[in-house]
Structure 1
Amino acid sequence: MAQHDVKVDSMAKVVTALGVVLLLIVVGYMAKSLMNTIERGSTKGEVATAPAAPAAPPAAEAPAAAAPAAAAPAAAAATGDAAAGAAKYTTCAACHGANGEGSGAFPKLAGLSASDVEGKLKKYRAGEQLGPMTSMMAPNAASLSDADIANLAAHIASFGGAAAAPAAAPAPAAAAPAAVATGDVAAGKTKFAACASCHGMNGEGQGMFPKVAGQSAADLAAKLKKYRAGETVGPNSAMMAPNAAALSDGDIADLSAYLASL
């Protein structure tokens, strides 16, 4: 038998080659499109998130600008009549000293500003707890009007800060004792005005201060002389000793006679 060669159509070869080229072009185009899509997606993500970071700080800083405005108010101190305050202060001097120098358990007032004194007195009057002296100060401040407080504050402020010098006042304690058998009730009543702020107007006592009305004149005189000598008579010795230090035997006899008469 005769052998036949297989003939490949040249047109088929051309079509096949073109098909392969087109397929490669399509695949390449798709790959390029995919890469572009990925690149655009990553670029958009960066652009969208980038502005968010700087936007937050301005909002946090805004309240800081408003803070200084709160510091605007300034307290205006009330003014009082120092002369009227001096008259009112006579009952305070028994404990705090004639020039606010303080004595014993009673604090120094000299050097305080009028606004400080006024603020404390109003708190004592309202019954607020300011410290260990509240139980003593509250009853004394209870009857003070705003005007009384302003006047007292003006007078106390006039002491200034150098009022410590009068602390030498207790020197009269060295006076030679003189025996006095009886006292003058009227003179004792006048002298008792300085004691009334603690012991009550009629010696009835208040708070930690004991009743002194109705005691025997001899007992009262003996106690006052012990206080004057600096002896410890009881829990109030630290407060009584400075007040008794300036009393003469005649003062003690008068006070004792008056209190015994109540």
Structure 2
Amino acid sequence: MRQDGWVNSHKVFTALFAALAVAALGSSVVHAYPADAPKVPAWAYPQGVHDEPGPDDGKLYHLPGTSQAFTDTQINRVNATIDWFPKSHPTPPAPVITGTEKYKACGTCHLMNGVGKPETGDLQGLPVAYLLQQLDDMKNDRRHPAYVPSSLTGMVAIAKALTPEEARQAAEYFHSVPPVEHIRVVESADAPVTHPGPHTIQLPDPSGARAPLGTRIVEVSENVERTKLRDPSTGFVAYVPVGSIARGEALVKSGGASKMACTMCHGADLKGMGDAFPSLAGHSPTAMARQLFDFRSGSRDGKNAAAMKPVVAGLSDSDIVDVSAYLASLKP
């Protein structure tokens, strides 16, 4: 990662990157990028650190509102995941909760209610056909991240490992989970200084230091310790530039000069239209911005990307921040 906060985008995805992502997502591997490649802002591609777990002393961890209890080993195992609130959602199929030797359980990163985190994104209630199309795009190398390493690198490897039936089971499950509000958007001139942590959690500096926000979005957990426990009920606070919500609303609804309004395809309420145009309301602004940067860089080039290309072509980095801030401020 360059010190000026920018990274070059990458047009080549290889099996090596996929293997690295599955084995140690967020490791500090240095990759070479074409000198003429377009740039994407590093903040939109959160990084993590590999956290080697120590001996498990058998301690059970608990969360408010549930009788479930899990050990450190259960919480941090690689393929299968845990379910803190099993009565709050439909019964999950095996791909979502147990995974296999070939791939992580979906709930490991997207959590059991599909709410995800800034580096993974929110799957709650998305159309089955849309989710299947994304998996197919990844499987066939039509969708990969504009920056590697990225959480999407690991997701591509998972998409390639899933059978068609497993993919459908996962898509139908997340479609059945109703969206919940989990993002608190705060306009601010500055934001907490953060450092990459385990599970790609961005950890606020212990000193409480803050830094000018500039043209960025900074998302931090409302309760870092509970997020480390994979608590799906803990939300995030998103710090966005002052005035970005109003500017984003204007762009989303009118399109602005030479830009296309999001409402034309995603609906007046921005909660989606049909299978090709998913809901945009109430999602992580970091994840939303990342999708727009991936579309703009050409790394997201799947079946439905053609409709987005003329939209993102006219968006500046500031526009993307503003649009993402506004969309995150809406109820899902």
Q: Same fold (TM over 0.5)?
A: no
Which interval holds the TM-score relative to the shorter structure?
Answer: 0.3 to 0.5
Higher helix fraction (1 or 2) = 1
